[in-house]
Amino acid sequence: MINIYEVVETNNMIEKENLDVRTITLGISLLDCIDSDLSKLNDKIYNKIYEAAKDLVKTGEEISREYGIPIVNKRISVTPIALIGGAACKTVEDFASIAKTLDKVAHEVGVNFIGGYSALVSKGMTPADELLIRSIPLALSQTERVCSSVNLGSTKTGINMDAVRLMGEMIKETAEYTKEDDSLGCAKLVVFCNAPDDNPFMAGAFHGVTEADKIINVGVSGPGVVKTALEKVRGESFEILCETIKKTAFKVTRVGQLVAQEASKMLGVPFGIVDLSLAPTPAIGDSVADILCEIGLEYAGAPGTTAALALLNDQVKKGGVMASSYVGGLSGAFIPVSEDQGMIDAVVAGALTLEKLEAMTCVCSVGLDMIAIPGDTKATTISGIIADEMAIGMVNQKTTAVRIIPVIGKGVGETVEFGGLLGYAPIMPVNGFSCDAFVNRKGRIPAPIHSFKN
């Protein structure tokens, strides 16, 4: 039988170390909603999502009550809208009307984000894909809870540089459209290389076409739990360090697995995956950067950061894989800047630069995430940053992403406040040398060779 010390340990993780289930995300296929009549399409989308998700928030709260574990977010992901709206949408306004429908139903069922205002264009763009991408600034400025993502490349297809160039422009335009709110629209827009079909985390969640009609995916969290566990093994060897992370990740992930199975049973929707993640929040003690410091760095960004992060990421996966029957999504440590107090501190101290963050993305989950840059950064420069990050994902057969926010009207040294889980960020300097001629070339970067590995 469970003993009192185990009970106290679990409850301390929850109460003092910010252990929580970060999100239950209900994936919903909209493929059966496709219609060439826009208003019928919008009605079908609304009805399907409403019917599938009306009990989601209530179910999440009930599970939270039963086990005494906070479930921070309840969210929805849908089939990429470029596929769903292609037959009906002839203008950017047509596509934006679907975004409004998604926003409306998100409010109605009480979820805080809905993801899937997306296009998958890793090799080429259909007219519908391009129209959706061009509608992103309008869609994100007219909605509150809609998240948008675009897959620009993959290991198998290479990188669609025409789409990379277009996204640089769209990120700038989204920043302009939402400049009254410190360019907040860009915090809900992410571009990927090798985007997973079953990611429960925003802004990049969408319900892939390889998925079932409905599915439950769960993202766990717990940087604070790992940090506290590591405080007890200061100065010990790498072996003990790694074992400690692994065991802690196991415990954290088991909670995610339990919640996923319960949600699946209560909603009558199959369980998809648990995303083995270390997802920080701006709350004190809920930071991935703090774990890096506990491993032995003065600040995240100091020499040794990439190695420490590689180790952390790998042990989280090793511990988590055994704790869950199905693992997927992004799975790994997240290193967003604005959502992690330790990362913010590192930037302010001058320890962490955009270039070091890029190196860190080679060994962990996702990529350049929630980074505020000067509002006057050129679109081609943003495209260059995206191309670099896509190349890392393509060559290393991993998911990489870029979510950067050119904050209109602000420059280096200033701070931007997004609020809530999105946090705040100091504006980081960007390398000012031009990549115009590179970005303005047409076509795509071919897929890399998979032999002769060096």
Which residues of the chain form contacts with another protein (CB under 8 A)? 1-11, 62, 65-69, 251, 254-255, 257-258
Amino acid identity at 418: F
Q: How far is the CB of 69 from another protein (least distance, A)?
A: 6
Find, among 381, 373, 359, the residue nearest to 307 by Cα: 359
Using the minimum distance from each CB to another protein, give the nearer residue, 3 or 454: 3
Amino acid identity at 83: L
Q: How far is the CB of 12 from another protein (least distance, A)?
A: 9
Residue 374's region, left for phi above 0, alpha for psi from -120 to 50, else beta, is beta
Using the minimum distance from each CB to another protein, give the nearer residue, 68 or 270: 68
Using the minimum distance from each CB to another protein, give the nearer residue, 68 or 446: 68
How large is the angle between the packed helices 127-142 and 92-109, nearest 10 degrees? 50
Using the minimum distance from each CB to another protein, give the nearer residue, 63 or 372: 63
Q: How far is the CB of 403 from another protein (least distance, A)?
A: 32
Torsion, Cα 370 374 378 384, to 10 degrees, reads -40
Q: How far is the CB of 19 from another protein (least distance, A)?
A: 10
Using the minimum distance from each CB to another protein, give the nearer residue, 266 or 359: 266
Q: How far is the CB of 431 from another protein (least distance, A)?
A: 45
CA separation for the pair 319, 280 (Å, rounded): 18
Q: How far is the CB of 236 from another protein (least distance, A)?
A: 23
Using the minimum distance from each CB to another protein, give the nearer residue, 260 or 312: 260
Q: How far is the CB of 312 from another protein (least distance, A)?
A: 20
Q: How far is the CB of 221 from another protein (least distance, A)?
A: 15
3-state SS, one letter per residue, for the chain:
CCCHHHHHHHHHHHHHCCCCEEEEEEEECCHHHCCCCHHHHHHHHHHHHHHHHCCHHHHHHHHHHHHCCCEEEEEEEECCHHHHHCCCCCCHHHHHHHHHHHHHHHHHHCCCEEEEEEEECCCCCCHHHHHHHHHHHHHHHHCCCEEEEEEEEECCCEEEHHHHHHHHHHHHHHHHHCHHHCCHHHHHEEEEECCCCCCCCCCCCCCCCCCCCEEEEEEECCHHHHHHHHHCCCCCCHHHHHHHHHHHHHHHHHHHHHHHHHHHHHHCCCEEEEECEECCCCCCCCCHHHHHHHHCCCCCCCCCHHHHHHHHHHHHHHHHHHHCCCECCCCEECCCCCCCHHHHHHHHHCCCCHHHHHHHCCCCCCCEEEEEEECCCCHHHHHHHHHHHHHHHHHHCCCEEEEEEEECCCCCCCEEECCHHHCEEECCCCCCCCCHHHHCCCCEECCCCCCCCC
Q: How far is the CB of 68 from another protein (least distance, A)?
A: 4
Q: How far is the CB of 70 from another protein (least distance, A)?
A: 12
Q: How far is the CB of 324 from another protein (least distance, A)?
A: 11
Using the minimum distance from each CB to another protein, give the nearer residue, 58 or 123: 58
Using the minimum distance from each CB to another protein, give the nearer residue, 157 or 248: 248
Using the minimum distance from each CB to another protein, give the nearer residue, 64 or 77: 64
Using the minimum distance from each CB to another protein, give the nearer residue, 57 or 385: 57
SS3 content of the chain, % helix, strand, coil (to 5): 45, 20, 35
Using the minimum distance from each CB to another protein, give the nearer residue, 69 or 291: 69
